[in-house]
Structure 1
Amino acid sequence: MSGTEPTPEGTPPTPPGGVYPPNLPPYGYPPQGPATHAYAYPEHTAPLVASRPAPEALTIVAFILAFVLAPIGLVLGIVQTVRERAARGRASGLAVGSIWVGAAISVLTFASGILLMLSFFAFGGYLINNGVDVDSIPEQAPRTDTVTAEFCDGAQDLVPLREPLDSLDADGYAEHVGDGGVYRAETEFMIELATAGESLWDSAPSSIIGSVETLIDASWYSAEGFEGAAPFDPQDLHDAQSAAAEVTDFAAAHCTTP
């Protein structure tokens, strides 16, 4: 039978000879018509971002203060950021940077202060808990009025210094010391006298310790006056002469001469 063979209802007709064109499904031909294209979406471009404006003079000041005085730089940076955004739509980089720098340094400073305070309290607590109890320190033995051989030997060394000491004219020096003159010999002599007095301090009896201390202090003050390190006071030299006489007289009365 030639031509198209009858097919069940609802199926496409079989081509003559029962042969299907290649690459076509057996159930029919693809629709014929103009080619269709995929839906083309309109292109959207990203909005242009405005560049940051140049910083104002006050903004530069805020950035510098953020390193030196962080809290002030931080506040000023916030103010400039708000002003520049209101005026230009965007803040400058220095304005934003002053906020970050000021905030970071302020936080670090605050944290350092807290740590320092905690360390201070911790160290204070350590001293309280582990410090030496004052009551546990043994008291120094009271000074007695006993004249020892050590004191007598030291006082004997002071005797040769009496004559040159008494020969010094305190009032005469008061008129010339400080005028630019050099009194090196007098300075060295008074230092020697003060050193001799210090050697007597530990062994001096209680009845003469006051004179020994006066001898030490007055000799040092006189040495500083002769050297020019301090104003020369003739009373210091008078006190040294009187104290030396009292010490040597006490030693002569209480020490046994070998």
Structure 2
Amino acid sequence: MTDVEWRVIAPRLPNKPRGVPRVDDRRVLNSIFWVLRSGAPWRDLPERYGPRTTCYNRFVRWRKAGVWDRLMDAITKPHDGKVQMIDTSIVRVHQQGATGKKGDRNHCLGRSRGGLTTKIHALVDAKGRPIKVMLTAGQMSDIASAADLITELPEGAMLLADKGYDANALRNAVTERNAWANFPPKANRKDPICFSPFLYKARNLVERFFNKAKQFRRIATRYDKLAENYLAALKLVSVRIWLRGNESTS
């Protein structure tokens, strides 16, 4: 991490002076980002980052404590909500990620033509920066998590999405928030709708987000057995995209 990134993240990490001082947080975070970027197993972590068990346990423990959730909420709070975009992206699940124990836990695994897959649902702002991310099984429809993604859609905002989201239920949900759904109509739609092709051109920003996120190989392919760990990794990558974007414009 750069010094700018660390200055933003450091105050938002747990700070408990009691007990034995823990391993340097910055070094541990660098190790986590190294694994996410390279896609390597945790056991291949270079020695300069310290014991791999310490780094992995810190990642999981803070995920369970909600640290990564709160970090993303804090970083994404100043987003530009006037224009928002939603879309999905399919991720192949590696064989190592398909060996989780069956039970009540939802692993967000589904079968499609490409085998076992997970689907990422993302909401981004007018600058292509992620606001919310969610996971479902790969065979779920694109619109499956749309209602949950737009719960905080501000009044007067415009929501952009492709024709896969053209459903009356979603349009009504957007209208109830006094916002505008600018979706292209499906071929079988009979009732006329208001649609602006010019404004729709900005929707490519959500696709750019997926491209940036999948530059991290552990996001492009799911190796994690638990959906919670994969989602936590996705949120950390989202935070990195935000910080890099802010740093490049400062």
TM range (shorter): under 0.3
Looking at both structures, which has the greater relative contact order when contacts are Cα pairs under 8 Å and sequence separation is at least 6?
Answer: 2
Of Structure 1 and Structure 2, the greater helix share is in 1
The normalised TM-score by structure 1 is 0.18
TM-score (norm 2): 0.19
